[in-house]
Amino acid sequence: MPERSNPPTPASAAKFIFVTGGVTSSLGKGIISASLAKLLQARGFRVTIQKFDPYINIDPGTLNPYEHGECYVTDDGAETDLDLGHYERFLNTPTSQANNVTTGRIYDTVIRREREGAFLGKTVQVVPHITDEIKRRMLLLGQGGEFDVVITEIGGCIGDIESLPFVEAVRQLRWELPPNDSLVIHLTLLPYLAAAGELKTKPTQHSVRDLREAGLQPDILVCRTEHSIPPEMRRKIALFCNVKINSVIESLDADTIYSVPLMMLKEQLDERVIKRLKLTGGAPQPDLEVWKDFLGRLKNPTEEVTIALVGKYVELPDAYKSINESFVHAGALNECRVKVRSIQSDHLTPENVAENLRGVDAVLVAPGFGERGFEGKIAAVQYVRENGIPFFGICLGMQVAVVEYARHVLGLPDANSTEMDALTPHPVIAMMESQKDITQKGGTMRLGAYACDLRRGSRAAKAYGKTHISERHRHRFEFNGEYLAQFEAAGMQASGTNPETGLVEIIELPQTVHPWFVAGQFHPELKSTVENPHPLFVRFVRAAMQYRKG
């Protein structure tokens, strides 16, 4: 018998949904995927989402935030696409290394296997070897019995050269999986031409044509649009794109991404999916009471604060996506609208910092790497510390606070981080011992969730309501413990430490000295969700509200 090019697909109890996009990027595949997942979860189904990215980087860990937005980190230490943040914020469940796969990781795996002789001398090709590896990873999360539905978002646009192996893998899976075990949702654009005064369907038709040429027929079309789709236009789209008219889903521009699940509920997207996949056992209607309560608080605030976000990537909002969304969550819980004022740290100096921070109710100094903008962040921290403005530092933001305190309170004017000055006489922030012999950049930082013990009675312990926590990290440098006694003698407390290594995780100033001055080496924004806003952000926003009231 001739050799089968594609091995049989392993049996799986899960159903698979593939989400593709066309016409243009940034249509919101991640938000549609997360919204559908939320609706299915709210009916009682166990759902997860994974993102397949077509770029050749192994992961986004070495990408400049201006290239790809923030790098999201999971509990198990994976550096992933920012869409995984949307997945976690919507579903309130953690993702993992398996939830984000790139072309680079696929090829790396296949090439390593080829070097080990796994292919028995055969010519290694895109089909079947690359597509087999893609399929294996697409099915992985559905094979452990943990999930009823696995949603796979395919990055990029239909027609992109780099996306073709992923689309081909999906085409093969549609044939290999049992009937009613998979479906394809295609997200496309209905542009509005002001000169003509109407929506145009041709880009959608061409996008679906390209998808069908690649061997995939969409089951459901989600059409991004600025205006409602008239019934006759829905019929036209259904006719030319070969889908049922009730599978043409309208996705209007929303006032907030958190409105999209309710918009998709109104469009009955979840019902179409349930019928097409023959899903059984779920509730007749999704339970979205907690979600609706959150939206009510978000859209009807009773107070407002302005918080400065000081960083060096502020021109691109996605560079600090999780921080901005954490403000949304914490603001809603406090029934407060948080207006974020982005400030480029490059532009801050001791001379202009007062002018730049005028009118803000609190300041967050953002994470980052490298020397650029570091001294501007120092100026911001000194100003808020000396003027009693609520302050929150994250990762590098904590390190900045430590350096600033050493220079201006401990009397060590040359204090610095060895990241900024390798020869500083007072390295109050230094490279971790475990990092000193590392030469490769990708995936080698202190990554993922680590335990932290909180000092009883501290601001941090009061915010969390407990003394043992776990938070996610992404850094190479740390607080230098040799200076800890000097800092504590001068009033800065180490209120959180790692129980195994003694690494300082949180520093703060007491209430008697400052209304709110807290900074963490970890990234609390990565654990904030709609249902569980992060307690440090909640307290920080509350401190801003109190400061505004005077």
What's the rounded Cα separation, in Å, for the pair 276 and 164? 25
Given the residues 325, 419, 478, 525, the one annotated as active site: 525
- C-alpha atoms less than 13 angstroms from C-alpha of 355 in its C-beta half-sphere: 6
Catalytic residue status for 525: yes
Compute CA 538 distance to the chain's CA centroid, rounded to the nearest angstrom: 19
The helix/strand/coil state of 443 is coil
What's the rounded Cα separation, in Å, for the pair 394 and 526? 11
Helices assigned H by DSSP within 311-435: 321-333, 353-356, 374-387, 396-408
Catalytic residue status for 329: no
What's the rounded Cα separation, in Å, for the pair 6 and 135? 10
3-state helix, strand, coil in the chain (%, to 5): 40, 20, 40
Compute CA 429 distance to the chain's CA centroid, rounded to the nearest angstrom: 27
Tokens of 67: 């290239």
Catalytic residue status for 523: yes
What's the rounded Cα separation, in Å, for the pair 162 and 426? 49
Burial of 436 from C-beta contacts in 10 A (0-12 / 13-18 / 19+): exposed
First-to-final CA distance of the chain = 83
What are the CA-CA distances from residue 203 to residues 23, 189, 239, 246 (Å)?
Answer: 6, 7, 15, 20
* Residue among 413, 409, 436, 414 at smallest CA distance from 424: 414
Given the residues 186, 475, 523, 534, the one annotated as active site: 523
Asked whether the CA dihedral 78, 82, 84, 86 is positive or negative, the reply is positive
Given the residues 395, 404, 419, 508, the one annotated as active site: 395
Q: Indicate the DSSP class of residue 129.
A: I
The helix/strand/coil state of 209 is helix
- The continuous run of DSSP H or E covering 306 comes out as strand 303-311
What's the rounded Cα separation, in Å, for the pair 147 and 203? 35
What's the rounded Cα separation, in Å, for the pair 270 and 394? 38
Place of tokens 């889908």: 243
What's the rounded Cα separation, in Å, for the pair 217 and 526? 36
What's the rounded Cα separation, in Å, for the pair 494 and 488? 7
Q: Which residues have a catalytic role annotated?
A: 395, 523, 525
